[in-house]
Amino acid sequence: MEKILIVDDERSMRDVLSIMLKRAGYAVSTATDGEEAIGMLGSEIFDLVITDLKMPKVGGLEVLKAVKDASPDTVVLVITAFASTETAVEAMKRGAYDYVTKPFQVDEVQLIIRNALERRRLTTENALLKREIATQASFTQIIGQSEAMQKVFEVVRKVADSKSNVLICGESGTGKELVARAIHYNSARARMPFVAVNCSALPEPLLESELFGHMKGSFTGAISNKEGLFETANGGTVFLDEIGDLTPAIQVKLLRVIQEREFRRVGGTRDVKVDVRIITATNKDLEKAVADGTFREDLYYRLDVIPIHLPPLRMRSGDIPLLVNHFLERFAQASGKPVLGVTPEAMRLLLNHEWKGNVRELENLIERLVAFSTGREITAEELESWLHRPVTTTTTGYPTDIPPDGLDLERLISTIEKDLLLKALERAKWVKKKAARLLCLNTRSFRYRLEKYEIKGARDDD
């Protein structure tokens, strides 16, 4: 609901406009003079201010200046007597949207107000679109035919229209933001804003201002009122990446947004109501953070309503050829080069690489190879010069090639599987749920494997 402030020293004018606008569905506040209006600007952000030009003490031009200083995006409409049109034109030069002369027709004013608010909406949407394009430029569509990724796609389809919060876990570079976007754009909120914030990229004061907004003068550098991203995303989705890096103070404010659907701007005195879906992501073990006392337990359970676990690239190596071909085509097209191929030897290197940076590392590598390539195919020699740590043999003693006398495949696979189960349990301190998560297995499948290999000693919880 758009918020409108009416400023006029004539009560009859305030009442007429107030009744008309409330009937039209707007939230209306009134001020009896310019001085009162300027005081109200310090505690609230309005979408539109309608002000009379001629008022005692503080006139409309001073109100206009105060509005533009405090909240540059707020639209200002001035009302003037016919004899003062020159002053009204001056007001437009100083940033007013339009002016209305007394006496005026109600239909005329309603049309001007609708157009003014539509202009503000378009300005906001344009800013969001530019932000969206800039963000999407560094990502590509989700690609994967592996069983692990198909499970992720299934979860996305099931939870897209849910109102519940989602927590996406996975290593850096696995595509957590892509999954968050997929959830948003397949939901009923798809036409509303999707706003992404990296919680580790900003210090606490700036992050608080970015999320919740601030009022002019609330801190050094706060030269105007500013809406926070929760307010900007109203009706849509807020994606909070690296949620595990939130400070205790921001955790408290986020918990309030989730519980009460409201917050207060930095330096503000009024609560702001919002309707947003919150999707969070982390590459940290939040359960451990809760146990260590660095992350609020009540917040964790509010965020972890629908958990999604993204597998690292090394756990879905079958998707590597698909990703390679996709990136080759995209970067070749961008650079105006013919689409390259990959020799079998080069693909083996790619399949054996450990990919600590996951899909993001693979994307960067392919972009680099396309930029420097002069042939039609990427060779193993070219790859070896760019891979930071090419892996041609494993450190566990497992063969990477078939010996001359052959090998027992079933026995080898069983040995590898049991070894990884034990390593996962050791890292998870023998807690089944955590170990299963490390291997991207559901609890039932993990328990089946423990029974299969007669592994004892794992427990259900801490």
Tens of pLDDT, residues 366-381: 988 888 877 888 888 8
- CATH 3.40.50.2300-classified regions of the chain: 3-126
Sign of CA dihedral 208, 213, 219, 222: positive
Domain with CATH 3.40.50.300 in the chain: 148-309
150 pLDDT more than 80: yes
Q: What is the pLDDT of residue 389?
A: 41
Other CB atoms within a 10 A radius of the CB of residue 413 amount to 11
The two tokens of residue 113 are: 């107000």
- Give the pLDDT mean for 86-102: 84
Burial class, 74, CB count within 10 angstroms (exposed 0-12 / middle 13-18 / buried 19+): buried
Name the architecture of domain 409-452.
Orthogonal Bundle (1.10)
Q: Tell whether the model's pLDDT for residue 312 goes beyond 60.
A: yes
Q: Closest Cα partner for 264 from 231, 216, 233?
A: 231
Q: Tell me what pLDDT residue 138 has.
A: 33
**pLDDT band, residue 393 (cuts 50/70/90):** very low
User: 47-56, 215-224, 442-451 — which one is most confidently predicted on average?
Assistant: 47-56
User: What pLDDT, on a 0 to 100 scale, did the predictor assign at position 143?
Assistant: 84
| Residue spans in the chain of domains classed CATH 1.10.10 | 409-452
Lowest model confidence (mean pLDDT) among 74-78, 85-89, 425-429: 85-89
pLDDT band at 403 (very low <50, low <70, confident <90, very high): low
Domain 3-126 belongs to what topology? Answer: Rossmann fold (3.40.50)
What is the per-residue pLDDT for 201? 79
Q: What is the pLDDT of residue 18?
A: 92
The percent of residues above 70 in pLDDT, for the chain, comes to 90
What average pLDDT does the segment 217-228 reach? 82
For residue 27, the cross-strand partners are 3
Average pLDDT (241-255) is 93
| Mean per-residue pLDDT, 80-102 | 79
Looking at the predicted structure, is the pLDDT value of residue 404 above 70?
Answer: no
pLDDT at 216 over 90: no
Flag whether pLDDT at 439 surpasses 80: yes
Q: Is residue 179 scored above 60 in pLDDT?
A: yes
Q: With bands split at pLDDT 50, 70 and 90, how would you rate the model's confidence at 399? A: low
Q: Binning pLDDT at 50, 70 and 90, where does residue 211 land?
A: very high
| Residue range(s) occupied by CATH 1.10.8.60 in the chain | 325-386
Indicate the class that CATH gives domain 325-386.
mainly alpha
Q: How confident is the model at residue 133 (pLDDT cuts 50, 70, 90)?
A: very low
Q: Is the pLDDT of residue 382 over 90?
A: no
pLDDT value at residue 445? 85
pLDDT of residue 401: 60
CATH topology for the 148-309 domain? Rossmann fold (3.40.50)
